[in-house]
Amino acid sequence: MRYTGEAMTKLLQEAWEQVSKLPEDEQDRIARELLEAIEEAEWAALLAQSPDTLRRMGEQAKAEYDAGKTEPLDPNRL
């Protein structure tokens, strides 16, 4: 599959072409890593726009915990 959108840089286009030659499981691994990096960048940008965002999110999480609205994390269900 070849992406021809104008928003992709030449370097990203080259990487896309190289990845497309790899076995499917390797493509999926790289895709997961890329998506994770994008998500981390989006969170960083969001928090940079509003420094109080993380504090408010923490306060909300603590309030939910105090109200008994949370469950213990089960690593086997991640």
DSSP percent split of the chain into helix, strand, coil, nearest 5? 70, 0, 30
Q: What is the mean pLDDT of residues 15-29?
A: 96
**Whether pLDDT at 1 is above 70:** no
C-alpha distances (whole Å) from 6 to each of 16, 43, 64, 68 are 14, 25, 44, 49
Confidence band (pLDDT; 50, 70, 90) for 6?
low
